[in-house]
Amino acid sequence: MKIWEFETRSPYYELLRDGKKIYEGRVPDPSRESKRYYECKVGDVVKIVKVDAVSGKRVSDAKKLKFEIEKVSQYSNLDDLFKNFDYKLLDPLADSVDDLKNTILNFPGYSDRIKKHGFILVQLR
């Protein structure tokens, strides 16, 4: 069993904390051991760490949330993910699939990393 730390911003941290979100999407980065999400396994532990939406720095007074991985799925791209997956399960606040795709792809480097390494969907419990 491995323990992973996933950094998450508001309002997603609160949605996870309140049980309104049970899926986390991750874009692997093989150059960083902590971001080799394709190595996530059922039964591994995920600690959710809240980060500031502007600075990206960890919020020191926020409690780390702890979950167990129930399921891991890997997709070659976002179109494959959303063919048979309800986008609202990944982001309850997104207005549409295209809105969510744009949100994901606007993170620096994500577009290239998804093309090279895919997208990992982790179901938490």
Rounded to the nearest 5 degrees, what angle is found at the Cα of 107, between the Cα atoms of 10 and 18? 20
Query: In residues, how long is the chain?
Result: 125
Domain span at residue 54?
A: 3-124
**Mean pLDDT of all residues belonging to the chain:** 94
pLDDT tens digits along 44-94: 999 999 999 888 888 987 889 999 999 999 999 999 999 989 999 999 999
Bridge partners of residue 9, in order along the sequence: 51
What letter would DSSP give residue 19? T
CATH classification of the domain holding 91:
2.30.130.30
In the structure encoding, which two tokens stand for residue 27, read together? Answer: 């874009």
- % of the chain exceeding 90 in pLDDT: 86
Number of domains the chain contains: 1
Alpha helices in 8-121 (DSSP H): 12-17, 78-83, 87-90, 97-105, 110-117
Q: Report pTM.
A: 0.90
Mean pLDDT of 13-40: 95
